Amino acid sequence: MTSGELFGIDVHEPSEALPTLSPVIPCAVQPLNSEGYADYLWTGVDGRQQVERKTWYELL
Query: CA-to-CA distance for 57 and 27, rounded, in angstroms?
Result: 27
What per-residue confidence (pLDDT) applies to 36?
Answer: 96
pLDDT computed for residue 3 by the predictor: 47
Structural domain including 22 reads 7-50
For residue 6, give the nearest of 34, 37, 30 by alpha carbon: 30
Which helix or strand (DSSP H or E) is residue 44 part of? strand 40-44
Backbone φ and ψ of 57, nearest 5°: -60, -40
Total domains in the fold of the chain: 1
Q: List, for residues 9-58, the tens digit of each pLDDT value.
A: 999 999 999 999 999 999 999 999 999 999 999 998 889 999 999 999 98
Which one-letter amino acid corresponds to residue 48? R
Residue 56 forms part of a structural domain: no
4 phi and psi angles, rounded to 5 deg: 75, 0
The verdict on residue 2 lying in a domain is no
